[in-house]
Amino acid sequence: MKINHIAALLAALATLLPATARTEPVGLNRIEHIVVIYLENRSFDSLFGLFPGANGLADAQNAPPQVDESGRPYQTLPTVTDVKHKPVILDKRFPTDLANSPFDIARYAKPDEKHPDLTHRFFIHQMQIDGGRNDRFAQLSSAGGLTMGHYDLSGTALWNYAKEFTLADNFFQAAFGGSFLNHQWLICACTPTFKDAPANLHQWKNDPATGKPTGDPALTEDGYAVNTIQPHFPPFDPAHQKDRLPAQYQTTIGDRLSEKNISWAWYAGGWDDAAVGRKTGDKFDYHHQPFVYYANYAPDSRARAEHLKDRSKLFADLKGNFPQVAFFKPTGNKDQHPGHSSVLEADREVKEIVDAIRDSAAWPSTAIIITYDEYGGFWDHIAPPKIDRWGPGTRIPAIIVSPFAKKGYVDHTVYDTTSILKLIETRFGLAPLTERDAKANGLQGAFEFNP
């Protein structure tokens, strides 16, 4: 009887332990540093569709063809256009009779060349997904048939990391649409709000010649900010300072980490110059700096000074002051964003960062997640899971690089951007930010902790 009483008492005490402590996988505490390298605008199939063992283009043979406005399959894909030029021009590197199927971009534009940007906005993205058929990407793309393009990345640093460590082939962007919203979801698993916003922020934009939507509203009808909008606090784009988002007060992962005295930093290329209003020469994207949108990180705040840092500080901190959680954001000319950066420019940037970490004293206890903010307008053949009004959106690449990552492994577990938050929360005993990260899979399937 006494043994039974003791067992019952121990079971009762176990229920009082925090959920994060009870569910922490064995060995996860051996990870002392979690690093997130956040690249730009590529779907999984567009970069890793040819990766051996992954659910890629070989599995897309029966995917629905791209269809026009009336729902009829295109005979050939729409011509590749570049909306950066006014008036819009054809990209003459690409033929005008591309078959209605995936194609190799490098046949026409090499991986070290830039190619046009593609539409990647919140409402239009959902129209492209078309209930999971993924058959309206070309119809609603500003770059026409380019959406069906892909690269063979074999031999690149990214490909080699995926071969050596773990590639997740069911990792989805947390929210529909573009960079602004998916940077917010990376740090708060939430969508910012804008009450009593100007009417123009709710308006659709259409091409007067074709009637096709070229831009959907910055806000939902009930006041959520879903497309690019500048922050209330500097640095922000002076060309768009009139309609800035009010200061945000939601809890972020940075706040959670600070509450537990867990060191962390957001490192960004060009930050030191942008923060004081200097032009960088490189492309600094203000909406890629999510913490700037929050009152806790206002100018002159202690939190901004302590946690928001320039790229150069990452290399300095690796010499002995590397934080427990680190995010790295490249400048726009090195982040793989179509129109701004080539695939290989970003590949070299990632290699420099990863090499520096692997050469440091932090490496034996580090987990690096290399992933993307969103799909960038590129097609992928897998339908996203259906969770809520925000997403998830299209499948994107994610590579886990770590001494603890499974070697030469393709992880088929369903993840999204909030899985990164879940991993951080689980490792450091933090409360979840929202229901989405609370229920996410936390990337544990990518790790093995051998004695």
Distance CA 301, CA 275 (A): 13
End-to-end CA distance of the chain: 38
Q: Angle CA(349)–CA(353)–CA(359) in degrees, nearest 5?
A: 140
In this prediction, residues 386-402 reach a mean pLDDT of 98
List the structure tokens of 59.
């599995």
Nearest by Cα to 51 from 411, 415, 392, 444: 411
Per-residue pLDDT of 13-34, as tens digits, reads 444 444 443 455 679 999 999 9
Burial of 130 (0-12, 13-18, 19+ CB in 10 A): middle
List the structure tokens of 326.
């680190």
- What percentage of residues in the chain have a pLDDT greater than 90? 84
- For 40-142, where are the E strands, in sequence order? 81-82, 89-90, 103-104
Distance CA 309, CA 331 (A): 13
- The pTM for the full model equals 0.92
Distance CA 151, CA 157 (A): 14
Distance CA 257, CA 260 (A): 5
pLDDT of 192 above 50: yes
DSSP string of 302-333, one letter each residue: HHHHHHEEEHHHHHHHTTT---SEEEEE--GG
Report the pLDDT value the prediction gives residue 21, as an integer from 0 to 100: 39
- Out of 4-13, 66-75, 176-185, pick the least confident: 4-13
In this prediction, residues 2-15 reach a mean pLDDT of 42
pLDDT of 206 above 80: no
List the structure tokens of 98.
């591309």
Residue 34 β-bridge partners: 325, 367
Distance CA 440, CA 184 (A): 16
Contact 104, 114 (CB under 8 A): no
The domain locations on the chain are 19-51+152-446
In this prediction, residues 267-273 reach a mean pLDDT of 96
Q: What is the DSSP letter of 83?
A: T
Architecture per CATH, domain 19-51+152-446, reads as 3-Layer(aba) Sandwich (3.40)
The mean predicted confidence, pLDDT, of the chain is 92
Q: Angle CA(362)–CA(366)–CA(372) in degrees, nearest 5?
A: 125
User: Is residue 392 reached through a cis peptide bond, with omega within 30 degrees of 0 on the bond before it?
Assistant: yes
Residues in the chain: 451
Contact 77, 368 (CB under 8 A): no
Report the pLDDT value the prediction gives residue 283, as an integer from 0 to 100: 86
What is the Cα Rg of the chain in Å? 22
- For 159-288, where are the E strands, in sequence order? 166-168, 171-172, 205-206, 213-215, 264-268
Residue 346 β-bridge partners: none
Q: What is the largest CA-CA distance in the chain?
A: 85
Contact 340, 333 (CB under 8 A): yes
- Out of 168-177, 210-219, 332-341, 385-394, pick the least confident: 210-219
In this prediction, residues 190-195 reach a mean pLDDT of 96
Distance CA 417, CA 77 (A): 31
Q: Which residue has the tokens 């500097």?
A: 234
In this prediction, residues 30-59 reach a mean pLDDT of 98
Distance CA 391, CA 172 (A): 9
Burial of 377 (0-12, 13-18, 19+ CB in 10 A): buried
User: Is residue 65 reached through a cis peptide bond, with omega within 30 degrees of 0 on the bond before it?
Assistant: no
Q: Which residue has the tokens 């988002």?
A: 245
Burial of 269 (0-12, 13-18, 19+ CB in 10 A): buried
Per-residue pLDDT of 409-444, as tens digits, reads 999 999 999 999 999 999 999 999 999 999 999 999
Report the pLDDT value the prediction gives residue 207, as an integer from 0 to 100: 65
List the structure tokens of 301.
């705040």
Distance CA 5, CA 340 (A): 67
Report the pLDDT value the prediction gives residue 213, as an integer from 0 to 100: 61
Contacts of 96 (CB under 8 A, 6+ apart): 76, 79, 90
Per-residue pLDDT of 111-164, as tens digits, reads 999 999 999 999 999 999 999 999 999 999 999 999 999 999 999 999 999 999
